[in-house]
Amino acid sequence: MDIRPIHTKADYKATLKEISALMESDPDLGTPEGDRLDILATLVQAYEAKHLPITAPDPVEAIKFRMDQSGLTVKDLEPIIGKSKRVYEVLNRKRPLTLAMIGRLHKSLGIPAEVLIAKTAAG
């Protein structure tokens, strides 16, 4: 089978290329090709976890993303954050989120609370 660990960025890219080719052929589970795809995917996951960790998004960016995703406006956030002036202050990083806002944003928009309590890029 000749599978080696991923040590370098070149190894990583080559493995991704091989995974892509294997996925194109759509091998069945339990076949040599299917087993190879499974092993390579596991190696890539381990490499990415160690070398390319995903950081939590900035709270304000998470709110803006959810607004964009759901087609929400500032007016839609008023019941959650407060009057439109306050919403703009939060979105422009002029006012921090309060615990009450965090709770309502989490409950209403489904944004994870741990994302909302993180420090903002400006704060």
Q: How does residue 56 score in pLDDT terms, banded at 50, 70 and 90?
A: confident
pTM score of the predicted model = 0.59
d(CA 107, CA 110): 6
CATH number of the domain enclosing 97: 1.10.260
- The predicted model gives 3-23 an average pLDDT of 94
Is 89 among the domain residues? Answer: yes
Is 1 among the domain residues? Answer: no
Both tokens assigned to 61: 């960016």
Is 2 among the domain residues? Answer: no
Both tokens assigned to 31: 């076949």
Which amino acid type is present at position 80? I
For residue 116, CA distances in Å to 25, 58, 94, 123 come to 42, 8, 16, 13
pLDDT value, residue 120: 64
Angle subtended at Cα 53 by Cα 106 and Cα 64, rounded to the nearest 5 degrees? 35
- pLDDT above 60: residue 43: yes
- The predicted model gives 64-92 an average pLDDT of 97
| 46 and 63 share one domain | no
Q: How does residue 121 score in pLDDT terms, banded at 50, 70 and 90?
A: low
pLDDT value, residue 123: 52
d(CA 23, CA 38): 10
| Residue that has been written with the tokens 């994302």 in this structure | 115
Q: What is the mean pLDDT of the chain?
A: 93
By residue range, what is the domain housing residue 68? 59-116
Is 82 among the domain residues? Answer: yes
Please tell me the total count of domains within the chain: 2
Is 4 among the domain residues? Answer: no
d(CA 116, CA 72): 18
| 37 and 77 share one domain | no
